[in-house]
Structure 1
Amino acid sequence: MSSNRGFNPESESFEQRPPFYIGQHDVQRHESPTDNQYGQILDSGFNFVTTPITNEHFHQRVIDLYKSHLQEREQWVTERGLTDAQKANPSLPLPTVPTLTDDDTSLFPSSYVGSLIAYASPWIDLCSADPIISDISRQVLNLELAYANFCGSRTIIIPGPRQDDGRAVAQYARAIQEAQEVGGRVNLVIHLPMYREPGLEEEAETLSSLLAGDGSSSSNSKETVKTDAAKGTEIDLFSTWDSWHTIRTVCKYSGRLFVALRIPKRVPEKDLQERWFSEPLHYLTLDKKIFSLNKAGHPSLTRHHQDLINRYMRLKNHPWLILINVGPSTESLVEAPSKMEVDFPPLSEASKAVKENRKPYAPPYNEYVDYMKYLERHQPPYSAMETPSLVSFQDWLQSPLQPLSDNLESATYEVFEGDPVKYDQYEKAVAEAMLEWKKYNRPVSSVTPETPDGKDLIVAVAGAGRGPLVARVLRAAASTNTPIQLWALEKNQNAYVYLLRRNKREWNNSVTVIKTDMREWEGPRLAANPNIITKLDILVTELLGSFGDNELSPECLDGIQRHIARPHGISIPYSYTAHLSPIAHPRIFADLSNRVVSDPNAFDIPWVTRLFQLAYVAQKVPKHGRFQQAWEFVHPVEVSRADDFSAQNGRARKYVTHGSGSMYGSSGINEHNARHCHLTFVCPTRGVIHGLAGYFESVLYKHQEEGKTPVEISILPDQIDRKSKDMISWFPIFFPLRQPLYFPQDTELEVSMWRQTDDTRVWYEWMVEVYAWVGPKTRIKVGASEMHSSRKVACIFG
């Protein structure tokens, strides 16, 4: 952890920031560092070091193998008098790279080998058009991985493809897939640039460039940005990401495959930054070339670089940093003293080291490391939304609650109650409702022919849990000087006991606590005359889910809204809306791909999760937002088909009919709570989506006075800070796609979703279609997901 934090996490001055774990990589290092050299690098401020797996001797041996193979083949062709056309016989054997010897490597099992990050030879060329070179490269990679794995390395960085054309990348991806089988326990990290920025390419020459010409080809994509106005050079911003997408798709989103992302000198647009943010980043690499010198002659990074690093370091598994070619140099480490000299330095050297406050023979603290430590100390501290518990929930999948069929535990209630923002807004909504009730002199339900002197507002909290909303209603009544009769309804028999205890100890028995399902409640009985059942003036509930209606708020309110006084009775919340946005989330897709082995329904479950490591693929354009409303529910419903059905059929309860929906012959009493939406999202850049992010907003209280801002809560990313900043009660919901859906640039994603219902259950169905414009008025369908349905894991209400 960084040193700029207090010791007491409960103190107001406590500020915690993500730690920087900084490594060193030198492209001129061809031998694994010795124990002394490793210690020298750590003493200069680094936390870890990269090491080559093989050395120059092995490199030359491979080159000689290739050349000798060509000579043998030419000799074989010449001896047989074959023509040029016959030289390319595909049945001729390819050379086999012999096993490693101790002359080929200086990496051996040691006490510190686990702290070294193995770096595969940058001269291999898996993408080569020459089948001999590509095959030799594949053999070399497998030999290196197997040996590094034997030595104890658990992470191996592999230089990414030097080009982004489809043939070459497919060949590279196939080699990585094979390498994963060879290194069965190691993590493979593909080193790629954020985009192909000139001047920041790999410096090492490949076998192709040394022996046969690299045969590289440039991309012709239209998604480009000018990087050199004078030369008119254009760079495809998303071509490298395309290559990565191909690699990880071939490797089936393996949990052992990561990215080492090379940060460019010119930071690209936010869309590309966000795209890489969603990927499994293990390292951020910063070459010496991207640093500039400030007025004092010290290295520094632009504000754009600092913002990018700060953003990426907010990940729960935040990337490590690797500084490239910033020293100490390989030459200086060659002169490193022996262990005997380090442990027992001469008195003169020891005395000098003490005066200079350093270790004997230790190199000076690296100025690039020093600068990165400065950035570490000056990161924005963790916010209220980045507590350790909330960070631990990043992208962690949870099954949605079924509060009607399951009784929650006290610990679950306690988590919900830890959010003051939600309850502040609820208290504000109740207080505003009470003030306007007085202002407009609305009637109160405590006044009946039998009780003409009644003055109390009749209020109920349905689904009271452990009573946080009850306490807030009492506070709102006290602050507005409003006399009330308050009812607390709770079906959970365990929470009911807790409510009774609070009523005695905290509320002076001022609350009538009832154990009942809110849908079966007979209604409030007046305190002045318990024989009289009256109506509710204000009904308060917190039945909302991550998608607004996914915890059956509409069905629950249908069953109790008949007790709300008409037309002046109030429901808090007044309304709620569901919202969608297509997203890329490789991490969750990989997680679900593993779960589906044991849970076949994993891709049909709407998961509640604190979405974090994601990329929004749609852009906000006129008429089409990045977040779009799917549907809305408003309460109380003025005309309820369910209530009408009960009245017409003389049934006191409507939750027992069985069937598959009205279209299959069941009663259809809940069809008024079915919904459907069809939304169009615009995607200027190509990409992939793994599912739909779902959010909700709610108007808790809508003022009768025109133009007055309603009391609201929201979890929409672009609205939460304005409407309910730092509210943590709800995480978003994620509707997954069974297969990732790739789309080209300038496409439109058509999202269809249904809220389906029968007499006993509610479930969702969703699908996504991709359309591309091929002319001013012509659009073609280029892809689609299958129809997903959560019916097998539906929410039960009947």
Structure 2
Amino acid sequence: MASDRTLNPESDSYESRPVFYIGQHDSNRSVTLSDYQYGHVLDCGFGFVTTPITNHHFFQRVVDLYKGYLIEREEWALGRLTASQLANSSLPGPVVPTLTDKDTTYFPSNYVGSLVAYASPWIDLCSLNPHISSISRQVLNLEVAYANFCGARSIIVPGPRDDESRGVAQYARAIQEALQVAGRANLIIHMPMYREPNLEEKAETLSSLFTRTNGAKVDAPAVIDLFSAWDSWHTVRSVCTYASRLFVALRMPKRMPEKDLQQRWFAEPLHYLSIRKAVFQLNRSGHPTLNKSHQELINHYMRLKNAPWLILCDVGPDVEAVEASKPVELSADKMAVDFPSLDEAKKVLKENRGSRLPPLNTYVSYLKYLERQQAPYSILETPTLVNFQDWLQSPLQPLSDNLESATYEMFEGDPVKYDQYELAIQEAMAEWKVLKKPTSSVVSKDSDSPELIVAVAGAGRGPLVTRVLRAAKTTNTRIQLWALEKNQNAYVYLLRQNQREWDNQVTVVKTDMRGWEGPRPKGYTNIITTVDILVTELLGSFGDNELSPECLDGIQRHIARPHGISIPQSYTAHLSPISTPRIFADISSRSDVDPNAFETPWVVRLFAMDFVSQKVPGHGRFQQAWEFIHPVEVSRADDFSAEHGADNKYAIIGGGNMSGSSGTNDHNARHCHLTFVCPTRGVIHGLAGFFESVLYAPQTADKEPVEISILPDQIDRKSKDMISWFPIFFPLKTPLYFPTDTELEVSMWRQTDDTKVWYEWMVEVFAWAGPKTRIKVGATEMHSSRKIACLM
């Protein structure tokens, strides 16, 4: 990812910002720029230019073809054709001949990669006239095939000019075909953000040329449907099955719409952001500027990992005037020898090019100014974290898999999480003294001061062990500390840490926490006591998705009752339906080799997305699915162990949730049914999952609980800049479209059969047909992650 870097990269003031790649588009350009013209445009500050694929000669040839066809049809209608000509009941439609060298000035070149091919804006793929739409489709196929041959990486195709459903369907079908014709190039559909007047292409279409309105002006609609252009784009990309080579170029309007629409487009696969001259305003000095809302949109879009490039439309320079003033090349009679001397060459270059390069285009200068005014990348926008945007990761299975050191190290790089854990441990230890709670330790012969029994379960490489020791030192609390870890490789690391960093203050035990026999006080081999404070970091992106409830069930019997503490004390799972086309396209591309791709709850740093619901009274944008609280006073597993013995895993005591299960884990099953309100129409591709956790809630009334959260509307308040967890994403096999003013009913289950845990989810759409009547207008199938369940 490129970035603008200011000051010395080795200094403390080193900053980076997104870079603006600025291109030029001239809607009146009919031929490809010459080398000299292209060089001049680059000298004016542009990084790339658009070029028409075909020229006016080809346009006229197509017009003449259709005129000839109309004349032929008229002859047939008047009965002037011969009997043999009338033998066929209908004349065939016009066929556009292949391109010739007179039809184009676009040829392969050494800088073809810097030219963005632009399809003819006069074609009308949406025309209800079948012959015009057929001609338009043929022209598009000829152009994209030729541009693909020339080496074009990107081909911009003007989008539909209105949102009439029949015409948009024809357009989508033509784009689907063009993607097959252009086997390598990306197709970028040039769409307005909404149907703002004068935001369309300037060129007349074939339909308008042959259906003149005698100067009658078509009135603009009294009410503009803000989402109709997005609807058309959604139809196109749905017909093209979210093709990986299909993108959108978004026209920036003069008047910015509501934030919901801006965010909707933010979630789409943006390739270009085009800005016409009329969008700019002139300041007192006569220089172009953009208002604050336009600046905010650009700055927001530039935060994407694959940020859109900017295209300035019709802002100059005048390349025809440049071509007219092109200097003559050095002739042989001016050269004394085959090659001029350095002095002669310098003199000729000065005469030809002048004393300096042309000044930067004023619009380019302004955008460069905006580029420098962007806020530097934040802590959460390091190159590593930016690369994680919308990147799918399979959830960890820490119970069945042993993590590598690099994975532990990545988690340990988040100071916010461990600061919050340390604060929670401090609060617990301090309050223990204030409330004069008993301890589980046995008073040793050497000291009459009791010690707090603390255990870190699932210690990994020991970051929480370090924080426990620091909290004990801060609060001046005497502790006995156990570190439990089942990963035999991490166990070796913990032993080394205990010798080198912890001064052998820790008892390191290699064990699955569920099978631990309990702590033995110092100096005693025949006594097993209980734990006063149990510390774990078993939470996943959805809170419980890495089996924290099941793991804590297995060790909670060692927590002292009733005063023992679990950190975390509780955690809640939250859901929100989202639109995320990029991730859906990614999962779709994987589904051919991974049949469970759409049944997998993916861990992903959601970024290019749109939260489709709104917060209204009684229904939030993020809603709680369920909660787990620790320790659980009595679990089914405790009853099972008491009756059948802790080692008897095969006795069946009931049907449980699943056929054949004992039901010992039923208390960790969950179900939720949530209602989300969507005032504007849209589409969802899945459910975003988040969690919050209360690490410790002080019993003292005037103290706030110590919490961590990845909820978008709470993370800054509870655990700002925490990066340990990305959200979880529950995908839908088929995108679910919903109309305006609808409610999305989300049902989710946390299921178990005592050996594994999985999730099931579905979404239903209800629309209001009256003040008190709802009708179901759509639904997904039931999704299930059982085939890739988390193993207990």
- TM-score bracket, shorter-length normalisation: over 0.9
For the Cα contact (< 8 Å) 2:746–2:761, is it kept in 1?
yes
Q: Which residue of 2 aligns with 1:404?
A: 399
1:285 aligns with 2:293: no
SS at match of 2:166: helix
Shift of 1:81: 8.9
Q: What is the distance in 2 between the residues matched to 1:105 and 1:665?
A: 72
Q: Distance in 2 between matches of 1:731 and 1:90?
A: 65
What corresponds to 1:297 in structure 2?
A: 286
The answer (yes or no) to whether the contact 1:655–1:760 under 8 Å persists in 2 is no
Q: Does 1:683 align with 2:684?
A: no
Change (3 A) 1:2 1:641: closer
Instruction: Determine the C-alpha separation between the residues in 2 that align with 1:531 and 1:644.
Output: 26
Quick one: which amino acid aligns to residue 288 of structure 2? Answer: P
1:282/1:131 CA distance change after superposition, 3 Å: same
Alignment of 1:367-766 (within 5 A): 367-447=362-442, 453=448, 455-652=450-647, 654=649, 661-766=656-761
The number of aligned residues is 775
CA gap 1:646/1:773 in 2 versus in 1, 3 angstroms: same
* One-letter amino acid of the structure 2 residue matched with residue 767 of structure 1: M
8 Å Cα contact 2:4-2:17 kept in structure 1: no
Q: Is the 8 A contact 1:40 1:336 kept in 2?
A: no
CA distance in 1, matches of 2:470, 2:544: 28
The residue identity in structure 2 corresponding to 1:623 is G
Question: After the TM superposition, which of the residue ranges 456-465 and 323-332 deviates more from structure 2?
Answer: 323-332
The one-letter code of the counterpart of 1:326 is V
2:303 aligned to 301, 310, 314, which one?
314
Q: 2:230: which partner in 1? A: 241
Paired amino acid for 2:426: A
Determine if contact 2:658/2:752 at 8 Å carries over to the other structure: no
1:223 corresponds in structure 2 to: none
> Partner letter of residue 31 of structure 2?
E
Query: How many Å separate the matches in 1 of 2:265 and 2:351?
Result: 50
Q: Aligned pair in 2 of structure 1 residues 318, 722: CA closer, same or farther (>3 Å)?
A: same
Matched-pair contact (CA < 8 Å) for 1:451–1:528? no
Matched position secondary structure for 1:562: helix
Mapped contact 1:656–1:759 kept (Cα < 8 A): no
Q: Which amino acid aligns with 2:410?
A: V
**SS of the counterpart of 1:571?**
strand
Cα deviation, 1:597-650, whole Å, max 9, x if unaligned, reads: 001110000000100010000000000000000000000001212111110222
The alignment status of 1:162 with 2:161, answered yes or no, reads: yes
Alpha-carbon offset, residue 73 of structure 1: 1.2
Q: Provide Cα deviations, 1:476-531, integer angstroms capped at 9, x if missing partner.
A: 00000000000000000000000000000011100000000000000000003232
Amino acid at match of 1:141: L
Letter in 2 for 1:549: D
Query: 1:228-377 maps to which residues of 2 (within 5 A)?
Result: 233-335=222-324, 337=326, 340=329, 347=347, 350=350, 358-359=356-357, 363-377=358-372
Give deviations 1:165-224, integer Å, cap 9, x for gaps.
100100100110111111111100000000000122211111111112599xx99xxxxx
Alpha-carbon separation, structure 1, partners of 2:403 and 2:89: 68
Shift in CA distance, 339/518, structure 1 to aligned 2, threshold 3 Å: farther
- Give the direction of change, closer, same or farther, for the CA distance of 1:790–1:366 in structure 2 (3 Å limit): same
For residues 260 and 567 of structure 1, the distance between their equivalents in structure 2, rounded to whole angstroms, comes to 62
Counterpart-to-counterpart distance in 1, 2:226 and 2:450: 69
Matched, 1:198 2:197: yes
The aligned runs of 1:169-180 (5 Å cut-off) are 169-180=168-179
Separation in structure 1 between the aligned mates of residue 475 and residue 68 of structure 2, nearest angstrom: 94
Q: Is the 8 A contact 1:463 1:543 kept in 2?
A: yes
Q: Judge which range, 205-214 or 322-331, deviates more.
A: 205-214
Cα separation, 2, equivalents of 1:512 and 1:50 = 68
2:47 partner letter = N
Q: In structure 1, the residue corresponding to 2:556 is in which secondary structure?
A: helix
- 8 Å contact kept, 1:463–1:542: yes
Report the CA distance shift for 1:347/1:666 in structure 2 as closer, same or farther (over 3 A).
closer
Letter in 2 for 1:48: F
Give the partner amino acid of 1:54.
T
Contact 2:444 2:523 in 1 (8 A): no
Q: What is the TM-score with the length of structure 1 in the denominator?
A: 0.94
Conserved in 1, the CA contact under 8 Å of 2:442 and 2:521? no
Instruction: Look up the SS of the partner of 1:377 in the other structure.
Output: helix
| Structure 1, 743-752 or 699-708: larger mean CA deviation | 699-708
Please tell me the residue identity of whatever aligns with 1:619: Q
SS at match of 1:16: strand
Secondary structure of 1:79 counterpart: coil
The equivalent of 1:225 in structure 2 is none
CA distance in 2, matches of 1:234, 1:294: 31
Paired with 2:651 and 2:608, the residues of 1 have a C-alpha distance of 43
> Is the contact made by 1:658 and 1:760 (CA closer than 8 Å) also made in structure 2?
no
Name the amino acid aligned to 2:289.
S
Per-residue Cα deviation, 1:718-776 (whole angstroms, up to 9, x for no partner): 00000000000000000000000000000000000000011110000000000000100
1:787 counterpart = 2:786: no
After TM superposition, the runs of 4+ consecutive aligned structure 1 residues lying more than 6 A away are: 341-346, 351-354, 448-452, 655-660
Question: Which shows bigger deviation, 144-153 or 733-742?
Answer: 144-153
Identity of aligned residues (%): 71
Find out whether 1:77 has 2:77 as its counterpart: yes
Distance 1:708-1:348 versus aligned 2 partners, 3 A rule = same
Distance in 2 between residues matched to 1:659 and 1:159, nearest whole Å: 65
What secondary structure, in the 3-state scheme, does the structure 2 residue paired with 1:340 have? coil
Report which stretch shifted further, 335-344 or 473-482: 335-344
AA at the equivalent of 2:712 = P
8 Å CA contact retained: 1:659, 1:758: no
Shift of residue 547 of structure 1? 0.1
The residue type equivalent to 2:116 in the other structure is: I
Q: Distance in 2 between matches of 1:67 and 1:20?
A: 45
Q: Give the alignment's TM-score, normalised by structure 2.
A: 0.94
* SS state at 1:236 partner: coil
In structure 2, the CA distance between the partners of 1:137 and 1:659, relative to structure 1 (3 Å rule), is farther
**Secondary structure of the residue that 1:95 maps to in structure 2?**
coil
Give deviations 1:199-255, integer Å, cap 9, x for gaps: 22211111111112599xx99xxxxxxxx9xx9932100000000000000000000
User: How far, CA to CA, are the matches of 2:182 and 2:353 in structure 1?
Assistant: 44
2:102 aligned counterpart, secondary structure: coil
Return the offset for 1:707. Answer: 4.3
Equivalent residue, structure 1, for 2:334:
none
More divergent stretch after superposition (586-595 vs 541-550): 586-595
- Rounded Cα–Cα distance in structure 2 between residues aligned with 1:550 and 1:451: 45
2:298 and 2:651 mapped to 1: Cα distance?
57
- Contact between 1:571 and 1:636, CA under 8 Å: does it hold in 2? yes
Which secondary structure state, in structure 2, belongs to the residue aligned with residue 49 of structure 1? strand
Partner SS for 1:93: coil
Which residue of structure 2 lines up, in the alignment, with residue 67 of structure 1?
67
Mean alpha-carbon deviation: is it higher for 393-402 or for 342-351? 342-351
